[in-house]
Amino acid sequence: MTHSRAPAETPRAAAILARFLSSESAGGLVLMGAALAALIVANSPLSQGYFAALHSVWLGMSVEHWVNDGLMAIFFLMVGLEIKREVLAGGLSTWGQRALPGFGALGGMVVPALIYIAINWGSSETLKGWAIPAATDIAFALGVLSLLGKRVPTSLKVFLAALAIIDDLGAVVIIAFFYTSGLSMPMLLASLATLVILIAMNRLGVRRLFPYLLVGGVLWFFVLQSGVHATLAGVAVALCVPMGKPEEEARSPLLFLEEKLHMWVAFAVVPIFGFANAGVSLAGISMENLVDPVPLGVALGLLVGKQIGIFLLAALAIRMGLAKLPEGSNWAQLYGVALLCGIGFTMSLFIGNLAFAGSAHLIDEVKVGVLIGSTLAAIGGVLILRRSAAPAIIAATVSK
Protein backbone atom coordinates (compact mmCIF):
# COMPACT_ATOMS: atom_id res chain seq x y z
CA MET A 1 0.00 0.00 0.00
CA THR A 2 1.36 3.41 -0.89
CA HIS A 3 1.43 6.23 1.61
CA SER A 4 0.80 9.81 0.64
CA ARG A 5 3.10 12.36 2.17
CA ALA A 6 1.48 14.30 4.99
CA PRO A 7 0.79 17.95 4.18
CA ALA A 8 3.35 20.33 5.63
CA GLU A 9 2.20 21.92 8.83
CA THR A 10 2.03 25.66 8.98
CA PRO A 11 4.89 27.35 10.87
CA ARG A 12 2.43 28.50 13.53
CA ALA A 13 1.03 24.99 14.04
CA ALA A 14 4.56 23.57 14.21
CA ALA A 15 5.49 26.13 16.85
CA ILE A 16 2.36 25.27 18.84
CA LEU A 17 3.26 21.56 18.65
CA ALA A 18 6.81 22.26 19.84
CA ARG A 19 5.50 24.27 22.80
CA PHE A 20 2.95 21.54 23.46
CA LEU A 21 5.58 18.85 23.80
CA SER A 22 7.89 20.90 26.00
CA SER A 23 5.26 22.38 28.32
CA GLU A 24 3.36 19.11 28.70
CA SER A 25 6.59 17.40 29.73
CA ALA A 26 7.31 20.05 32.33
CA GLY A 27 3.66 19.95 33.40
CA GLY A 28 3.93 16.21 33.86
CA LEU A 29 6.79 16.69 36.30
CA VAL A 30 4.71 19.22 38.25
CA LEU A 31 1.81 16.75 38.26
CA MET A 32 4.10 14.06 39.70
CA GLY A 33 5.08 16.42 42.49
CA ALA A 34 1.43 17.31 43.19
CA ALA A 35 0.41 13.64 43.35
CA LEU A 36 3.29 12.79 45.66
CA ALA A 37 2.47 15.77 47.89
CA ALA A 38 -1.17 14.67 48.13
CA LEU A 39 -0.16 11.15 49.10
CA ILE A 40 2.21 12.47 51.79
CA VAL A 41 -0.32 14.96 53.20
CA ALA A 42 -3.11 12.34 53.27
CA ASN A 43 -0.90 10.12 55.44
CA SER A 44 0.42 12.82 57.76
CA PRO A 45 -0.97 14.78 60.73
CA LEU A 46 -2.30 17.25 58.13
CA SER A 47 -4.70 14.66 56.69
CA GLN A 48 -7.74 15.80 58.67
CA GLY A 49 -7.38 19.37 57.41
CA TYR A 50 -6.73 18.13 53.86
CA PHE A 51 -9.93 16.07 53.64
CA ALA A 52 -11.96 18.72 55.48
CA ALA A 53 -10.85 21.37 52.98
CA LEU A 54 -11.85 19.17 50.04
CA HIS A 55 -15.33 18.65 51.47
CA SER A 56 -15.93 22.25 52.51
CA VAL A 57 -18.80 23.87 50.57
CA TRP A 58 -18.52 27.04 48.50
CA LEU A 59 -21.43 28.44 46.44
CA GLY A 60 -23.41 25.24 46.78
CA MET A 61 -20.66 22.77 45.82
CA SER A 62 -17.74 21.22 47.70
CA VAL A 63 -14.19 22.24 46.81
CA GLU A 64 -13.64 18.75 45.40
CA HIS A 65 -16.75 19.16 43.25
CA TRP A 66 -15.54 22.54 41.96
CA VAL A 67 -12.20 20.99 41.03
CA ASN A 68 -13.69 17.95 39.29
CA ASP A 69 -16.59 19.68 37.53
CA GLY A 70 -15.31 23.24 37.24
CA LEU A 71 -11.55 23.30 36.77
CA MET A 72 -11.61 20.06 34.80
CA ALA A 73 -14.01 21.68 32.31
CA ILE A 74 -11.05 23.90 31.40
CA PHE A 75 -8.89 20.78 31.01
CA PHE A 76 -11.50 19.26 28.68
CA LEU A 77 -11.68 22.56 26.77
CA MET A 78 -7.95 22.18 26.18
CA VAL A 79 -8.40 18.53 25.16
CA GLY A 80 -11.07 19.54 22.64
CA LEU A 81 -8.86 22.27 21.17
CA GLU A 82 -5.97 19.82 20.78
CA ILE A 83 -8.18 17.21 19.12
CA LYS A 84 -9.62 19.72 16.64
CA ARG A 85 -6.22 21.23 15.83
CA GLU A 86 -4.55 17.87 15.33
CA VAL A 87 -7.39 16.61 13.10
CA LEU A 88 -7.54 19.76 10.96
CA ALA A 89 -3.88 20.76 10.65
CA GLY A 90 -1.64 18.55 12.74
CA GLY A 91 -0.45 15.01 13.27
CA LEU A 92 -3.92 13.51 12.75
CA SER A 93 -4.88 15.42 9.59
CA THR A 94 -4.66 12.40 7.24
CA TRP A 95 -5.79 8.79 7.55
CA GLY A 96 -2.19 7.65 7.20
CA GLN A 97 -1.17 9.77 10.19
CA ARG A 98 -4.10 8.53 12.26
CA ALA A 99 -3.53 4.85 11.56
CA LEU A 100 -0.70 4.02 13.99
CA PRO A 101 -1.89 6.03 17.03
CA GLY A 102 -5.49 5.13 16.16
CA PHE A 103 -4.86 1.38 16.19
CA GLY A 104 -2.71 1.77 19.31
CA ALA A 105 -5.35 3.80 21.13
CA LEU A 106 -8.06 1.25 20.24
CA GLY A 107 -6.02 -1.62 21.65
CA GLY A 108 -5.04 0.50 24.63
CA MET A 109 -8.68 1.06 25.53
CA VAL A 110 -10.19 -2.35 24.77
CA VAL A 111 -7.64 -4.74 26.33
CA PRO A 112 -7.36 -2.95 29.73
CA ALA A 113 -11.16 -2.80 29.94
CA LEU A 114 -11.40 -6.54 29.20
CA ILE A 115 -8.83 -7.34 31.89
CA TYR A 116 -10.74 -5.25 34.44
CA ILE A 117 -14.05 -6.89 33.45
CA ALA A 118 -12.54 -10.39 33.73
CA ILE A 119 -11.30 -9.68 37.27
CA ASN A 120 -14.52 -8.00 38.41
CA TRP A 121 -16.95 -10.35 36.63
CA GLY A 122 -19.93 -11.16 38.80
CA SER A 123 -19.99 -7.90 40.76
CA SER A 124 -22.42 -5.39 39.26
CA GLU A 125 -21.15 -2.72 41.66
CA THR A 126 -17.47 -2.87 40.74
CA LEU A 127 -18.04 -3.64 37.04
CA LYS A 128 -19.04 0.01 36.64
CA GLY A 129 -15.34 0.86 36.77
CA TRP A 130 -14.47 -1.01 33.54
CA ALA A 131 -13.31 2.19 31.78
CA ILE A 132 -10.91 3.31 34.52
CA PRO A 133 -7.75 1.61 33.14
CA ALA A 134 -8.62 2.57 29.54
CA ALA A 135 -7.16 6.07 29.82
CA THR A 136 -3.61 7.38 29.29
CA ASP A 137 -2.37 10.49 31.11
CA ILE A 138 -0.66 12.55 28.42
CA ALA A 139 0.99 15.04 30.79
CA PHE A 140 2.34 12.35 33.13
CA ALA A 141 3.52 10.07 30.29
CA LEU A 142 5.27 12.87 28.39
CA GLY A 143 6.77 14.09 31.64
CA VAL A 144 8.36 10.69 32.25
CA LEU A 145 9.40 10.47 28.59
CA SER A 146 11.14 13.83 28.86
CA LEU A 147 13.44 12.44 31.57
CA LEU A 148 15.08 10.27 28.90
CA GLY A 149 16.11 13.29 26.82
CA LYS A 150 17.63 12.49 23.42
CA ARG A 151 17.46 8.73 24.02
CA VAL A 152 13.94 8.92 22.57
CA PRO A 153 13.35 10.31 19.04
CA THR A 154 10.89 13.18 18.68
CA SER A 155 8.72 10.99 16.43
CA LEU A 156 7.91 8.75 19.41
CA LYS A 157 6.87 11.75 21.48
CA VAL A 158 4.55 12.84 18.68
CA PHE A 159 3.18 9.26 18.47
CA LEU A 160 2.54 9.22 22.22
CA ALA A 161 0.86 12.64 22.11
CA ALA A 162 -1.36 11.65 19.17
CA LEU A 163 -2.28 8.32 20.80
CA ALA A 164 -3.16 10.03 24.08
CA ILE A 165 -5.29 12.62 22.25
CA ILE A 166 -7.28 9.87 20.50
CA ASP A 167 -7.45 8.11 23.88
CA ASP A 168 -8.89 11.29 25.42
CA LEU A 169 -11.50 11.45 22.67
CA GLY A 170 -12.47 7.87 23.50
CA ALA A 171 -12.71 8.78 27.18
CA VAL A 172 -14.99 11.73 26.34
CA VAL A 173 -17.31 9.39 24.41
CA ILE A 174 -17.28 6.85 27.25
CA ILE A 175 -18.16 9.53 29.82
CA ALA A 176 -20.97 10.86 27.64
CA PHE A 177 -22.59 7.46 27.02
CA PHE A 178 -21.81 5.40 30.12
CA TYR A 179 -21.42 7.82 33.04
CA THR A 180 -24.46 10.03 32.58
CA SER A 181 -27.52 9.50 34.77
CA GLY A 182 -30.55 11.30 36.21
CA LEU A 183 -31.13 13.49 33.15
CA SER A 184 -33.12 16.70 33.52
CA MET A 185 -34.90 17.23 30.20
CA PRO A 186 -35.46 21.00 30.63
CA MET A 187 -31.76 21.57 31.37
CA LEU A 188 -30.74 19.16 28.61
CA LEU A 189 -32.88 21.09 26.10
CA ALA A 190 -31.39 24.34 27.35
CA SER A 191 -27.92 22.84 26.84
CA LEU A 192 -28.77 21.82 23.28
CA ALA A 193 -30.18 25.28 22.52
CA THR A 194 -27.00 26.90 23.83
CA LEU A 195 -24.89 24.53 21.76
CA VAL A 196 -26.89 25.51 18.68
CA ILE A 197 -26.03 29.15 19.40
CA LEU A 198 -22.30 28.26 19.53
CA ILE A 199 -22.54 26.37 16.23
CA ALA A 200 -24.41 29.29 14.64
CA MET A 201 -21.69 31.69 15.81
CA ASN A 202 -19.09 29.50 14.12
CA ARG A 203 -21.11 29.28 10.89
CA LEU A 204 -21.72 33.04 10.84
CA GLY A 205 -17.99 33.69 11.05
CA VAL A 206 -17.70 35.10 14.56
CA ARG A 207 -13.95 35.35 15.18
CA ARG A 208 -13.73 36.94 18.65
CA LEU A 209 -13.16 34.50 21.49
CA PHE A 210 -15.08 36.34 24.21
CA PRO A 211 -18.57 35.45 22.86
CA TYR A 212 -17.60 31.76 22.67
CA LEU A 213 -16.29 31.77 26.25
CA LEU A 214 -19.32 33.70 27.53
CA VAL A 215 -21.86 31.39 25.89
CA GLY A 216 -19.62 28.46 26.88
CA GLY A 217 -19.96 29.44 30.54
CA VAL A 218 -23.75 29.36 30.18
CA LEU A 219 -23.49 25.97 28.47
CA TRP A 220 -21.36 24.63 31.35
CA PHE A 221 -24.05 25.66 33.87
CA PHE A 222 -26.87 24.05 31.90
CA VAL A 223 -24.88 20.84 31.36
CA LEU A 224 -23.99 20.74 35.08
CA GLN A 225 -27.69 20.87 35.94
CA SER A 226 -28.74 18.45 33.18
CA GLY A 227 -27.17 15.26 34.57
CA VAL A 228 -24.60 15.01 31.77
CA HIS A 229 -21.12 15.51 33.18
CA ALA A 230 -20.30 19.23 33.10
CA THR A 231 -16.78 18.76 31.72
CA LEU A 232 -18.24 17.71 28.36
CA ALA A 233 -19.27 21.35 27.90
CA GLY A 234 -15.57 22.18 27.59
CA VAL A 235 -15.18 19.80 24.65
CA ALA A 236 -18.32 21.16 22.97
CA VAL A 237 -17.09 24.75 23.22
CA ALA A 238 -13.65 23.77 21.86
CA LEU A 239 -15.14 22.13 18.78
CA CYS A 240 -17.09 25.32 18.01
CA VAL A 241 -14.13 27.70 18.30
CA PRO A 242 -13.01 28.47 14.71
CA MET A 243 -9.65 27.16 13.56
CA GLY A 244 -9.46 29.25 10.41
CA LYS A 245 -6.40 29.14 8.18
CA PRO A 246 -3.44 30.35 10.25
CA GLU A 247 -1.36 31.09 7.14
CA GLU A 248 -4.08 33.43 5.86
CA GLU A 249 -4.86 35.44 8.97
CA ALA A 250 -2.95 37.17 11.72
CA ARG A 251 -4.46 35.14 14.54
CA SER A 252 -6.31 31.83 14.52
CA PRO A 253 -8.86 31.94 17.39
CA LEU A 254 -8.33 28.25 18.21
CA LEU A 255 -4.52 28.40 18.20
CA PHE A 256 -4.54 31.62 20.21
CA LEU A 257 -6.84 30.16 22.89
CA GLU A 258 -4.85 26.93 23.01
CA GLU A 259 -1.63 28.87 23.46
CA LYS A 260 -3.08 30.99 26.27
CA LEU A 261 -4.63 28.03 28.09
CA HIS A 262 -1.58 25.80 27.88
CA MET A 263 0.40 27.12 30.82
CA TRP A 264 -2.68 27.35 33.04
CA VAL A 265 -3.78 23.79 32.30
CA ALA A 266 -0.31 22.23 32.53
CA PHE A 267 0.85 24.07 35.63
CA ALA A 268 -2.36 24.86 37.54
CA VAL A 269 -5.51 22.95 36.53
CA VAL A 270 -4.03 19.43 36.21
CA PRO A 271 -1.71 19.68 39.28
CA ILE A 272 -4.60 21.00 41.40
CA PHE A 273 -6.73 18.07 40.23
CA GLY A 274 -3.88 15.70 41.03
CA PHE A 275 -3.43 17.15 44.50
CA ALA A 276 -7.18 17.00 45.20
CA ASN A 277 -7.61 13.43 43.93
CA ALA A 278 -4.38 11.52 44.59
CA GLY A 279 -4.62 11.80 48.35
CA VAL A 280 -5.54 8.42 49.78
CA SER A 281 -4.97 7.33 53.35
CA LEU A 282 -2.98 4.09 53.43
CA ALA A 283 -3.94 3.45 57.04
CA GLY A 284 -5.65 0.09 57.32
CA ILE A 285 -4.72 -0.99 53.79
CA SER A 286 -3.06 -4.42 53.88
CA MET A 287 -1.46 -6.59 51.22
CA GLU A 288 -4.74 -8.50 50.99
CA ASN A 289 -6.53 -5.28 50.00
CA LEU A 290 -4.17 -4.84 47.05
CA VAL A 291 -5.60 -7.94 45.40
CA ASP A 292 -9.21 -6.85 45.83
CA PRO A 293 -10.97 -6.86 42.45
CA VAL A 294 -10.99 -3.06 41.92
CA PRO A 295 -7.33 -2.18 42.64
CA LEU A 296 -6.14 -5.41 40.99
CA GLY A 297 -8.28 -4.83 37.89
CA VAL A 298 -7.15 -1.20 37.59
CA ALA A 299 -3.46 -1.93 38.19
CA LEU A 300 -3.28 -4.92 35.81
CA GLY A 301 -5.39 -3.11 33.24
CA LEU A 302 -2.93 -0.21 33.17
CA LEU A 303 0.29 -2.20 33.54
CA VAL A 304 -0.51 -5.28 31.41
CA GLY A 305 -3.51 -4.32 29.30
CA LYS A 306 -2.08 -1.07 27.95
CA GLN A 307 1.21 -2.53 26.76
CA ILE A 308 -0.42 -5.59 25.18
CA GLY A 309 -3.25 -3.69 23.51
CA ILE A 310 -1.21 -0.78 22.17
CA PHE A 311 1.82 -2.76 21.00
CA LEU A 312 -0.09 -5.61 19.37
CA LEU A 313 -2.54 -3.45 17.44
CA ALA A 314 0.19 -0.96 16.44
CA ALA A 315 2.33 -3.89 15.24
CA LEU A 316 -0.68 -5.24 13.34
CA ALA A 317 -1.18 -1.89 11.59
CA ILE A 318 2.50 -1.82 10.61
CA ARG A 319 2.59 -5.41 9.38
CA MET A 320 -0.59 -4.82 7.33
CA GLY A 321 1.06 -1.84 5.65
CA LEU A 322 -1.42 0.65 7.10
CA ALA A 323 1.27 2.52 9.05
CA LYS A 324 5.01 2.71 9.61
CA LEU A 325 7.23 2.74 12.67
CA PRO A 326 7.78 6.32 13.90
CA GLU A 327 10.79 7.77 12.10
CA GLY A 328 14.14 6.94 13.75
CA SER A 329 12.60 4.48 16.21
CA ASN A 330 12.72 0.70 16.59
CA TRP A 331 10.39 -2.02 17.84
CA ALA A 332 11.83 -1.98 21.35
CA GLN A 333 11.20 1.74 21.65
CA LEU A 334 7.64 1.34 20.39
CA TYR A 335 7.11 -1.33 23.06
CA GLY A 336 8.61 0.96 25.71
CA VAL A 337 6.21 3.75 24.79
CA ALA A 338 3.28 1.27 24.86
CA LEU A 339 4.33 0.31 28.39
CA LEU A 340 4.63 3.99 29.33
CA CYS A 341 1.04 4.52 28.22
CA GLY A 342 0.03 2.51 31.29
CA ILE A 343 0.35 5.78 33.21
CA GLY A 344 -3.35 6.57 33.51
CA PHE A 345 -3.39 9.08 36.32
CA THR A 346 -5.61 12.10 35.57
CA MET A 347 -8.34 10.60 33.39
CA SER A 348 -8.36 7.26 35.26
CA LEU A 349 -8.94 9.01 38.59
CA PHE A 350 -11.57 11.20 36.95
CA ILE A 351 -13.50 8.21 35.55
CA GLY A 352 -13.11 6.43 38.89
CA ASN A 353 -14.84 9.33 40.64
CA LEU A 354 -17.71 9.08 38.15
CA ALA A 355 -17.99 5.29 38.30
CA PHE A 356 -18.07 5.05 42.09
CA ALA A 357 -19.62 8.37 43.09
CA GLY A 358 -20.85 8.03 46.66
CA SER A 359 -18.53 5.16 47.57
CA ALA A 360 -15.44 6.58 49.26
CA HIS A 361 -14.04 3.09 49.85
CA LEU A 362 -14.15 2.11 46.17
CA ILE A 363 -12.74 5.48 45.09
CA ASP A 364 -9.81 4.92 47.47
CA GLU A 365 -9.31 1.46 45.96
CA VAL A 366 -9.27 3.05 42.50
CA LYS A 367 -6.59 5.48 43.67
CA VAL A 368 -4.45 2.64 45.01
CA GLY A 369 -4.80 0.70 41.74
CA VAL A 370 -4.01 3.75 39.63
CA LEU A 371 -0.95 4.65 41.70
CA ILE A 372 0.45 1.10 41.62
CA GLY A 373 -0.29 0.46 37.94
CA SER A 374 0.94 3.88 36.80
CA THR A 375 4.13 3.71 38.88
CA LEU A 376 5.08 0.24 37.64
CA ALA A 377 4.26 1.21 34.04
CA ALA A 378 6.45 4.32 34.33
CA ILE A 379 9.38 2.35 35.77
CA GLY A 380 9.04 -0.43 33.20
CA GLY A 381 8.73 2.00 30.30
CA VAL A 382 11.82 3.96 31.36
CA LEU A 383 13.90 0.77 31.77
CA ILE A 384 12.88 -0.50 28.31
CA LEU A 385 13.54 2.85 26.62
CA ARG A 386 16.92 3.27 28.33
CA ARG A 387 18.05 -0.06 26.88
CA SER A 388 16.38 0.41 23.50
CA ALA A 389 19.62 1.33 21.72
CA ALA A 390 20.79 -2.28 22.15
CA PRO A 391 19.39 -5.06 19.93
CA ALA A 392 16.15 -6.21 21.46
CA ILE A 393 14.70 -9.72 21.48
CA ILE A 394 11.27 -8.25 20.82
CA ALA A 395 12.55 -6.49 17.70
CA ALA A 396 13.95 -9.69 16.28
CA THR A 397 10.79 -11.61 17.08
CA VAL A 398 8.41 -9.15 15.42
CA SER A 399 10.57 -8.59 12.33
CA LYS A 400 10.83 -12.31 11.44
Q: How confident is the model at residue 248 (pLDDT cuts 50, 70, 90)?
A: low
- Do residues 153 and 196 make contact, with C-beta atoms less than 8 angstroms apart? no
Angle ∠(106,112,118) on CA atoms, nearest 5 = 130
Highest mean pLDDT among 73-87, 102-116, 319-333: 102-116
Residues 6+ apart with CB under 8 A from 148: 382, 385, 386
Q: Is the pLDDT of residue 251 over 50?
A: yes
Average pLDDT score over residue span 263-276 = 86
Residues 6+ apart with CB under 8 A from 170: 105, 109, 134
Query: DSSP characters for 162-231?
Result: HHHHHHHHHHHHHHHHHS--S--HHHHHHHHHHHHHHHHHHHTT---HHHHHHHHHHHHHHHHHHSS-TT
Of residues 220 and 76, which shows the higher confidence score? 220
CA distance 322 to 324: 7
Q: Is the pLDDT of residue 257 over 80?
A: yes
pTM (two decimals): 0.77
The phi, psi pair for 62, rounded to 5°, reads -70, 160
Residue 210 confidence (pLDDT):
94
Residue 399 confidence (pLDDT):
47
Highest mean pLDDT among 142-151, 245-254, 355-364: 355-364
Of residues 245 and 106, which shows the higher confidence score? 106
Angle ∠(319,91,315) on CA atoms, nearest 5 = 15
Amino acid at 369: G
Residue 232's region, left for phi above 0, alpha for psi from -120 to 50, else beta, is: alpha
- Closest-CA residue to 9 (of 102, 91, 98): 91
Regarding beta strands 61-62 and 57-58, do their DSSP bridges make them parallel or antiparallel, or are they unpaired? Answer: antiparallel
Q: What is the pLDDT of residues 183-229, one digit of tens each?
A: 788 998 999 999 999 999 999 989 899 999 999 999 999 998 887 77
Share of the chain above pLDDT 70, in %: 88
Average pLDDT score over residue span 243-266 = 80
CA distance 184 to 186: 6
Beta strands in the chain (DSSP E): 57-58, 61-62
- Closest-CA residue to 375 (of 293, 311, 290, 312): 290
